[in-house]
Amino acid sequence: MEYRFNENNFTEEVINSNIPVMIDFYAEWCGPCRMMSPIVGQFAKEYEGRVKIGKINVDEQSELAFRYGVQSIPSFIFIKDGKVIDRVTGAMPKALLNTYLENLAKSA
């Protein structure tokens, strides 16, 4: 399941999550974000129960984007126990994003 994170659910779904979290910071108008979207959606299903995968629209949730220092999109932030443990910016091959997710899942 692909989550939609926002100010209202962020603490519960991300900071207090009992499993690691990957956040995809994106915008509707962003071409590279649209390229990554189906890949992120696929991984959300594959990693369900091991990694919580969700999106934050930077236009609608600019405070969260600012809080996490997102200056370019897409940006992927990997969180464990409420703390950022890794981050990567830009579109990337599916295999590379999978490597980041595998490392995150193993850290659990």
Residues forming the active site: 30, 33
Which three-class secondary structure state does DSSP give residue 53? strand
Q: Is 66 buried (19+), middle (13-18) or exposed (0-12) by CB count in 10 A?
A: exposed
CA distance 74 to 37: 10
Mapping DSSP to helix (H, G, I), strand (E, B) and coil, where does residue 70 land? coil
Q: Among residues 57, 35, 42, 29, which one has the least CA distance to residue 1? A: 42
